[in-house]
Amino acid sequence: MYRNLFTAWYCLGVLALCLVTFLVLTPFFGREADRAFSVGFAWTGLLGFLPFFWFVVFRKEQEDERDILIRQRSVAVGCIIAISTIFPLASLIACVFQFQSIPINFMFFPLHCGMIVGTFACSTTLLYLYYKGTHRTWRAA
């Protein structure tokens, strides 16, 4: 249980760090907000440390069927929301630049948005399902 909760809070913390960095750097760069976007969302690389925490820090933690089912549901919700974010944004960008070449600034925008929205949805779903489960047992006791 602690592994999944740590994962959810860690992902939300990384996303909050990205957003705060972007919002702080945007006034300094002014018209070149691409640099603030690049620096701010470079923090998403910290999500790559999750396997280290899973297999080194929390390696002896036992999981039951409930933990596995909650993790599977939250990952499914995150993937569905990420895909449903990526495709409309990509098609919108393709429609806007219909007969022109698409600028490189807009190429990865749907992927970034999909990754961020999917990670946020997965983490919040994970926290909600754990809260819902503990809330039920608390009320029944």
Distance CA 6, CA 18 (A): 18
Residue owning tokens 């705060």: 20
Residue owning tokens 């630049």: 97
- Mean residue pLDDT of the chain comes to 83
Q: What does the pLDDT look like over 35-90, one tens digit per residue?
A: 887 888 888 888 888 888 878 887 777 888 888 888 889 999 999 999 998 888 88
Residues 6+ apart with CB under 8 A from 21: 39, 40, 43
Report the alpha-carbon angle 129-135-137, nearest 5: 110
Element at 111 (helix H, strand E) = helix 109-140
Q: Of the ranges 14-23, 27-36, 92-101, which is most confident? A: 14-23
Q: What pLDDT, on a 0 to 100 scale, did the predictor assign at position 108?
A: 79
Does pLDDT of 30 surpass 80?
no
